[in-house]
Amino acid sequence: MKPPLAATHAWIGLGGNLEDPKAAIRGALVCLNAEEGVSLDVVSSFYRTAPVGIVDQPDFLNAVARLATCLDPEELLHRLLKIEAVLGRVRSGAQFGPRIVDLDLLLYGEVSIATEKLTVPHPRMHLRRFVLEPLFEIEGDMTLPGGDQVARLLEKCRDQRVAPAGPLEI
């Protein structure tokens, strides 16, 4: 079942750098679109990204997707974590480490959320060129909750190697 017209837009960051990250991202998008209460609207191109934090690992592939959903933010997060597990992600506790797939809830409508389980907008997205570039690709210079514009955040974002890696074909 697809969400009703009253659905909220949510933006998801997708990435991975182990095994076949392109296949993992495609699989995540198929799983997301199959979830009840979720409909995939648009997906950015892939971006090849240098790792952050732990640099002795393969480059990542990243993308951003916009969804329409009637799920509340915490339920959407729960579904993202479930999809990661189904696709083989094992959370080892090593932040910024290698992973098969990573799904981050970046934005949920125009709201800000700060709970024990969830912070939206994603608390580090303004530091991540690999999030801002694909977000800008699909949304242009959108204004984020709190008033920041994606283009301005891109200008201020420290240099990180991010290169287009081609269109995403699902």
DSSP state of 85: H
Active site residue ranges? 89, 99, 102, 104
Beta carbons of 60 and 15 less than 8 angstroms apart: yes
Beta carbons of 100 and 13 less than 8 angstroms apart: no
Top CATH class, 8-165 = alpha beta
Beta carbons of 9 and 106 less than 8 angstroms apart: no
Q: For the purposes of burial, counting CB atoms within 10 Å of the CB of 28, is it exposed (0-12), middle (13-18) or buried (19 or more)?
A: buried
At 54, the pLDDT band (50, 70, 90 cuts) reads confident
At 62-87, the pLDDT tens digits run 999 999 999 999 999 999 999 999 99
Q: Where are the domains of the chain?
A: 8-165
At 142-153, the pLDDT tens digits run 999 999 999 999
Nearest by Cα to 133 from 22, 15, 9, 17: 15
Beta carbons of 74 and 42 less than 8 angstroms apart: no
Residue linked to tokens 């690992």: 57
This prediction has a pTM of 0.91
At 82-113, the pLDDT tens digits run 999 999 998 876 778 899 999 999 999 999 99
pLDDT at 27 over 70: yes
Structure tokens at 161: 């190697």
Structure tokens at 119: 């912070």
